[in-house]
C-alpha cells in the first residue's frame, strides 16, 4: 500500500490504435478507479516487441497511448503513468523471475498457444516469455489488484504462482495480486465477427473503431457492422452482433439493458446503428479534442514521461533491491 491506498497496476500494448474496446473495457473503468486506488498505468512497449513492430511506429504509438490515457481522463499527477521500457527494473526483474518459472507451467498458457499457431513461423522466445515480463510489471509495485479482461486472467494466475513460490523460498517479498474484472464492458467484440474480441491489431480495419476515428469513419464502420437477418433489437446471446452494438451504446450513454431495449423497440437496424454511431461520436469528441491539444504540446508530454518514469522507478527499485539481495547478487556495499 502507498498512502494507505491499495495499489492497482494495468497496461496496454502500443501495438496499434487504441479502440473503443480498450476504452470501454479498460480505460473508462480505470478513470473511475483512480480516486480510490494508487494506480499505475503502463504503456507496455516491451510486450509489444514480442511480435514484429516497425520502430518509428512503435515509438509514435507509445507516446500516443499515453496521450490517450490523459485525454480519456486519467490524471498523470495522481496516477503513475509511464512507458515500460523507460523503467529498466521491468527487464531486470523479468529475467530473475524467469529463473523461478517452470517450463511446464508456461507450456499451459493458452494465449501463447493461440498467438503462436496464428503466426506459425518464427515465433520468438519473447512471445513465449511474455507472461513472466507481465509478472514482473505487476510484482515490482506490490500490486494488490490488476484490472484486466478475461483473456489475461491466466497471466495473473501465473503471476500469483511465481510470487508465492518466491515468497516461500525467501520471505514475504511480493504482495500476491488479484485479478480485477470490471462488472461491465470487459469484452467489446469485433464489428465484423462478434464472436471474437475487438482487437487493435486485427487486419480488418472495419472490425474496430479507434479512439481517433473521425465521425464519418465511425458511422461507416458501424453501418457495416455484422448483425443478423432478423430485425429486432434485443439483448441476447443469440444475437451477438446486436448485443455487441447494444453494449457499446449502453456504455457510451450510461444506460441499462432495459432502457436501451425500450429505446430501440420499434427501430430498424439502420436507425439503431445510426444512434449507436451518434453515441460513440459524442463520447469520443472530448477525448479527441483533448488529444489534439496534447499533440501540440510535446514539452508537456516529455515532462510527464520523465517525471512518471522516475516515480515508477523509485518504487520498482525498492522491490528489485530486495529481490537482488535475496537471490544472492552482489549489491553496493555488501561483501
Ligand atoms: N498483457 C496485457 C494485455 O495484452 C498487457 C499487460 C502487460 C498488462 N503487463 C501487464 C496488464 C500488467 C495488466 C498488468 O492486455
Residue 2 lies in a domain: no
- Could you give the CA distance from residue 160 to residue 168 in angstroms, rounded to a whole number? 12
Active site includes 221?
A: no
Between 266 and 91, the higher pLDDT residue: 91
Grid coordinates in use for 78? 495522481
Q: Is the pLDDT of residue 86 over 80?
A: yes
Q: Is the CB of residue 177 less than 8 Å from the CB of residue 156?
A: yes
Q: Is the pLDDT of residue 71 over 80?
A: yes
Same domain, 176 and 142: yes
Same domain, 49 and 126: yes
**Domain carrying residue 128:** 7-181+298-327
User: Domains in the chain: how many in total?
Assistant: 2
Could you give the dihedral angle defined by the CA atoms of residues 140, 141, 144 and 147, in that order, rounded to the nearest 10 degrees? -90
CATH of the domain at 286: 1.10.240.10
Render pLDDT for 128-143 as a digit per residue (tens, 0 to 9). 999 999 999 999 999 9
Grid coordinates in use for 175? 504482495
Mean pLDDT of 283-303: 97
DSSP secondary structure of 68-88: HHHHTT--TTTSEEEEGGG-T
> From the candidates 61, 67, 197, 239, which is the catalytic residue?
197
Same domain, 91 and 60: yes
Give the bridge partners for 7, in sequence order.
38
Global pTM value? 0.94
Q: Whose CA is nearest to atom 3 of ligand 1?
A: 12
Residues in the chain: 335
Same domain, 153 and 269: no
CATH of the domain at 100: 3.40.50.620
Q: Is the CB of residue 190 less than 8 Å from the CB of residue 198?
A: yes
Element spanning 166, H or E: helix 153-169
Cβ < 6 A, ligand 1 pocket: 9-11, 13, 44, 47, 134, 137-138, 146, 148, 152
Cβ neighbors of 109 (< 8 A, separation 6 or more) are: 131, 154, 155, 158
Render pLDDT for 241-252 as a digit per residue (tens, 0 to 9). 999 999 999 999
Q: Whose CA is nearest to atom 14 of ligand 1?
A: 10
Mean pLDDT of 300-323: 98
Same domain, 123 and 40: yes
Residue 250 lies in a domain: yes
DSSP assignment letter at 25: I
Amino acid at each position: 500500500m502507498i498512502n494507505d491506498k491499495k495499489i492497482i497496476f494495468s497496461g496496454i500494448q502500443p501495438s496499434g490504435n487504441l479502440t473503443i474496446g480498450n476504452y470501454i473495457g479498460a480505460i473508462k473503468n480505470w478513470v473511475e478507479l483512480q480516486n480510490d486506488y494508487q494506480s499505475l498505468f503502463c504503456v507496455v512497449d516491451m510486450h509489444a516487441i514480442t511480435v514484429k513492430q516497425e520502430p518509428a511506429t512503435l515509438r509514435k504509438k507509445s507516446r500516443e497511448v499515453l496521450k490517450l490515457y490523459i485525454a480519456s481522463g486519467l490524471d498523470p499527477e495522481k496516477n503513475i503513468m509511464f512507458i515500460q521500457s523507460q523503467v529498466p527494473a521491468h527487464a531486470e526483474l523479468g529475467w530473475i523471475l524467469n529463473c523461478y518459472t517452470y517450463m511446464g507451467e508456461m507450456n499451459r498458457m493458452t494465449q501463447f498457444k493461440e498467438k503462436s499457431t496464428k503466426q506459425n513461423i518464427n515465433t520468438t522466445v519473447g512471445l513465449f516469455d511474455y507472461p513472466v515480463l507481465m509478472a514482473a510489471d505487476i510484482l515490482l509495485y506490490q500490486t494488490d489488484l490488476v484490472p484486466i479482461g478475461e483473456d489475461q486472467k491466466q497471466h495473473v494466475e501465473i503471476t500469483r504462482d511465481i510470487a508465492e513460490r518466491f515468497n516461500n523460498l525467501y520471505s514475504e517479498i511480493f504482495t500476491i495480486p488479484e485479478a480485477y474484472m470490471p462488472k461491465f464492458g470487459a469484452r467489446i467484440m469485433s464489428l465484423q465477427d462478434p464472436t471474437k474480441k475487438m482487437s487493435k491489431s486485427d487486419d480488418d480495419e472495419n472490425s474496430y473503431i479507434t479512439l481517433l476515428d473521425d465521425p464519418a469513419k465511425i458511422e461507416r464502420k458501424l453501418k457495416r457492422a455484422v448483425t443478423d437477418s432478423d430485425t429486432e433489437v434485443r439483448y441476447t446471446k443469440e444475437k451477438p452482433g446486436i448485443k455487441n452494438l447494444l453494449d457499446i451504446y449502453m456504455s457510451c450513454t450510461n444506460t441499462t439493458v432495459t432502457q436501451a431495449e425500450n429505446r430501440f423497440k420499434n427501430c430498424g437496424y439502420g436507425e439503431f446503428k445510426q444512434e449507436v454511431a451518434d453515441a460513440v461520436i459524442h463520447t469520443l469528441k472530448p477525448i479527441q479534442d483533448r488529444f489534439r491539444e496534447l499533440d501540440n504540446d510535446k514539452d508537456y508530454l516529455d515532462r510527464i514521461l520523465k517525471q512518471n518514469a522516475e516515480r515508477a522507478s523509485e518504487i520498482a527499485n525498492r522491490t528489485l533491491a530486495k529481490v537482488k539481495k535475496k537471490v544472492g547478487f552482489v549489491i553496493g556495499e555488501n561483501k
